[in-house]
Amino acid sequence: MEITKKVRGGDVRAATRLIRNLEDRIPHAKDTIKHIFSHTGKAHVIGFTGSPGAGKSTMIDSVVAELRKRDKTVGVLLVDPTSPFTGGAILGDRIRMQRHALDPGVFVRSLATRGALGGLSKAVGDAIHVMDAMGKDYVIVETVGTGQQEVDIINHAHTVVVVLVPGMGDEIQAIKAGILEIADVFVINKADRDGAGKLYRELVYMLSMVDEFPGGWKPPIIRAENIFDADSFQRSLDELTNTIGQHYQNLIDKGLLGDRIRRKAVLELNEALLAAILDPVLTKLVESGEMKEMTEKLLKKETDPYTLAEMIASRYLVMPAE
Amino acid sequence: MAKRKLRIMVAKPGLDGHDRGARVLARCFRDAGYETIYTGCHQTPEQIAAAAIQEDIDCVGLSCMSGAHKYLFPECVKQIRALGGDDIQIIGGGIIPKQDYQLLYDAGLKGIFTPGITLDDIVAWINENIVPNVKE
């Protein structure tokens, strides 16, 4: 296929259009993924997550600069939220990394969440495959500004960087489940501000309560401060870039990379299966008007969602006898 | 199947830092249901063109208040076309005297919007004149 060849050759126009078709869920885009899938799996996928304004985009910009110094090519996927009211979005992460716009070794693409709740867009998984197939050495994914629960990045990234800033709450925040559990590397950004020492101590305390880390990797805590002192900021970002590399190497050395990749594979199969089974059924129900009838019945309390779902499932799903 | 979404970029070429208008527009485009990429101030035409290509943009809106539009807007068109963005529509706005309109239209701008026009008018114009440049 022409498009497959173009994407594998690193053609940005073909790749960005393919990502758009994936976002818009155009059926033939799926066919292209079928063709490129076997060529993926070479890139190191790095996720950046953290609350809005923590400095994710700025960090990524500096990490990209460092990776480019080391002659590595980078794809960057930036996710920002879609308005639940209008379906529109402002994708503004790119502002922080426009200095790489003319570098052919860097491909930056913004995506809107389009209603997905886990901090990413549904198309991100496939968009990573696209950049991977283009031959990028690294694919960096920035999640939306997260709260506590947006942890989908763990299903896609080999290394997850959680960016924190001082002054976000007391020590109870640090022992909650969710975002802090998924970190492979912590960054305390704006570490020249009040409360940075306290945040550092809370993280150390939280990590000290963990008995055993997978692969013996205890998430390091890196401090980044004073972006206006460009040299010192870039030095902390060099440290971050090195640490990200060490984490990946540790995954390989301890045989854990497979676990991460397997997690994504299971998820992708789940999602593809769900779409393959559900989409045609839903389309039929909507087109035949049956969906509307059933909704009415539900409103009148004549039946319940479980009975209807079982009825529909028994109509379309023929399970082979055991 | 989901409907095609319009992808639009708001960009400020050159040294002009008056970005309130650009930000208001970005917000307005969000409310109109477009996916809006904002690249910030102080962009070169080359940077704007590269971003438009990478982001698969349907329409680039250029904003300039400094009077440099006669150079910057045509240069943006040129750079976008040079990168193969033949199907990307380019519009502009800002402090632009009437006598410059023809030069900008001739350079390839599809629309020019200046003070006094309402956000609703701009959105209505875009809805009428810009379609997602994707062929099935």
pLDDT digits (tens, 9 = 90+) for B123-133: 999 999 998 98
List residues bridging with A89 in a β-sheet.
A82, B35
Judged by average pLDDT, the poorest of A8-17, A112-121, A144-153, A268-277 is A144-153
Q: How confident is the model at residue A118 (pLDDT cuts 50, 70, 90)?
A: confident
CATH number for position A76:
3.40.50.300
3-state secondary structure (DSSP) of residue A191: coil
**Residues B87-94, mean pLDDT to the nearest whole number:** 96
3-state secondary structure string across A207-268? HHCCCCCHHHCCCCEEECCCCCCHHHHHHHHHHHHHHHHHHHHHHHHCCCHHHHHHHHHHHH
**Residues A247-256, mean pLDDT to the nearest whole number:** 95
pLDDT(A1) > 80: no
What integer best gives the mean pLDDT of chain B? 94
Q: Is residue A213 part of a domain?
A: yes
User: What is the radius of gyration, based on Cα positions, of chain A?
Assistant: 22
pLDDT value for B76:
97
pLDDT value for A229:
79
Q: Are A135 and A280 found together in one domain? A: no
Q: Are A94 and A237 found together in one domain? A: yes
Indicate which of A74, A83, A94, A131 best probes the interface with B, i.e. most B CBs within 10 Å of its own CB. A94
In chain B, which residues have their Cβ closer than 8 Å to the Cβ of A16? 53-56
In chain A, which residues have their Cβ closer than 8 Å to the Cβ of B79? none
**Residues A47-54, mean pLDDT to the nearest whole number:** 90
Instruction: Compute the nearest-CA separation of B12 from chain A (Å).
Output: 11
In order of A115, A280, A317, B75, B80, the CA distances from A320 in angstroms are 36, 20, 9, 65, 56
Domain range for A272 is 267-316
pLDDT value for B1:
42
Q: How confident is the model at residue B136 (pLDDT cuts 50, 70, 90)?
A: low
End-to-end CA distance of chain B: give it in Å, rounded: 12
The residue assigned the tokens 């590397």 is A185
Q: Do B134 and A21 touch (CB under 8 A)?
A: yes
**Residues A93-108, mean pLDDT to the nearest whole number:** 94
Q: How confident is the model at residue B27 (pLDDT cuts 50, 70, 90)?
A: very high
Nearest residue in B to A109, CA atom:
B55
In chain A, which residues have their Cβ closer than 8 Å to the Cβ of B46? 101-102
Q: Which residue has the higher pLDDT, A135 or A315?
A: A135
In chain A, which residues have their Cβ closer than 8 Å to the Cβ of B40? 95, 98
pLDDT(A190) > 60: yes
In chain A, which residues have their Cβ closer than 8 Å to the Cβ of B53? 12-13, 16
Residue A24 sits at the chain B interface (C-beta within 8 Å): yes
List residues bridging with B89 in a β-sheet.
B59
**Residues B90-114, mean pLDDT to the nearest whole number:** 96
Give the DSSP H or E segment for A111. strand A106-112
- DSSP letter assigned to residue A320: P
The residue assigned the tokens 């924190």 is A164
Q: Do A24 and B2 touch (CB under 8 A)?
A: yes
List residues bridging with A188 in a β-sheet.
A164, A223
pLDDT(B37) > 70: yes
Distance of CA A125 to the CA centre of its chain: 7
Which are the contacts of B67, defined by CB distance < 8 A and separation ≥ 6?
A: B95
Q: Is residue A230 part of a domain?
A: yes
3-state secondary structure string across chain B? CCCCCCEEEEECECCCCCCHHHHHHHHHHHHCCCEEEECCCCECHHHHHHHHHHCCCCEEEEEECCCCHHHHHHHHHHHHHHCCCCCCEEEEEECCCHHHHHHHHHHCCCEEECCCCCHHHHHHHHHHHCCCCCCC
Q: Do B31 and A86 touch (CB under 8 A)?
A: yes
Q: Which residue has the higher pLDDT, A39 or A229?
A: A39
Cβ–Cβ < 8 Å for B111, B125 = yes
Number of A–B residue contacts, CB under 8 Å: 97
The residue assigned the tokens 């779409």 is A275
pLDDT(A175) > 80: no
Considering only CB atoms, B54 lies closest to which of A12, A23, A82, namely: A12
In CATH terms, the superfamily for domain B7-129 is: Cobalamin-binding domain (3.40.50.280)
A71, A72, A73, A77 alpha-carbon torsion, rounded to 10°: -130
- Rounded Cα gap, residues B88 and B102, in angstroms: 20
pLDDT(B35) > 60: yes
Instruction: Compute the nearest-CA separation of A315 from chain B (Å).
Output: 23
Q: How confident is the model at residue A172 (pLDDT cuts 50, 70, 90)?
A: low
Q: Is residue A16 part of a domain?
A: no
3-state secondary structure string across A152-177? HHHHCCCEEEEEECCCCCCHHHHHCC
> A231, A255, A279: which is the final residue of a domain?
A255
Residue A62 sits at the chain B interface (C-beta within 8 Å): no
Q: Do B30 and A90 touch (CB under 8 A)?
A: yes
> A209, A230, A255: which is the final residue of a domain?
A255
Q: Domain total for chain A? A: 2
Q: Are A240 and A271 found together in one domain? A: no
Q: Are A206 and A290 found together in one domain? A: no
Which are the contacts of A206, defined by CB distance < 8 A and separation ≥ 6?
A: A174, A175, A180
Residue A95 sits at the chain B interface (C-beta within 8 Å): yes
Q: Are A282 and A185 found together in one domain? A: no
Q: Are A62 and A86 found together in one domain? A: yes
Q: Are A103 and A215 found together in one domain? A: yes
> A255, A282, A300: which is the final residue of a domain?
A255
Nearest residue in B to A85, CA atom:
B31
pLDDT(A181) > 90: no
Nearest residue in B to A86, CA atom:
B33
Q: Are A279 and A244 found together in one domain? A: no
Residue A279 sits at the chain B interface (C-beta within 8 Å): no
- Give the strand pairing for A138-142 and A44-50: parallel
Q: Are A241 and A211 found together in one domain? A: yes
- Rounded Cα gap, residues A109 and A138, in angstroms: 14
Q: Are A279 and A190 found together in one domain? A: no
Q: Are A235 and A102 found together in one domain? A: yes
Q: Is residue A25 part of a domain?
A: no
Q: Is residue A195 part of a domain?
A: yes
Q: Is residue A218 part of a domain?
A: yes
Q: Are A207 and A286 found together in one domain? A: no
pTM: 0.91
**Residues A140-168, mean pLDDT to the nearest whole number:** 87
Q: Is residue A50 part of a domain?
A: yes
Kindly state the tokens that stand for B100: 């410059």
